[in-house]
Amino acid sequence: MELGLTEAHLEEILLALSIRDYCSGPERDRDRDGHSPGQVWDFGKRIQGRDVYIKLTAFSDSDRDYAKCISFHFAEHPLAYPHRQ
């Protein structure tokens, strides 16, 4: 809400993420204990002149692959982008 983005804007931003936006991961998704194992990935994107932290989880369930955005907000700490020059 603080970003003032619509769902369509959020979807556009998420689908446009690239290796240049990668910050860290994969790590084990601790919230999927007892379910199919998942992975958590951290990304960042420059929006409105500030870094935005984006956390995604990817997992498989019932022979289908899923991706879910679990966090999308202004970064609280500086983000590192290892694939940017």
pLDDT tens sequence across 20-75: 999 999 998 877 555 667 899 999 999 989 999 999 998 888 889 988 999 999 99
Q: What residues pair up with 49 in beta bridges, in sequence order?
A: none
pLDDT value, residue 32: 55
Q: What DSSP letter does each residue of 25-80 carry, written as one string?
A: EEEE-GGGTTSS-EEEEEEEEEETTEEEEEEEEEEEETTEEEEEEEEEEE-SS---
pTM score of the predicted model: 0.86
Alpha-carbon Rg for the chain in angstroms:
14
Interatomic CA distance for residues 75 and 49, integer angstroms: 12
Domain boundaries along the sequence of the chain: 7-74
Residue type, 30: R
Please give the Cα distance from 29 to 49 (Å, whole number).
30
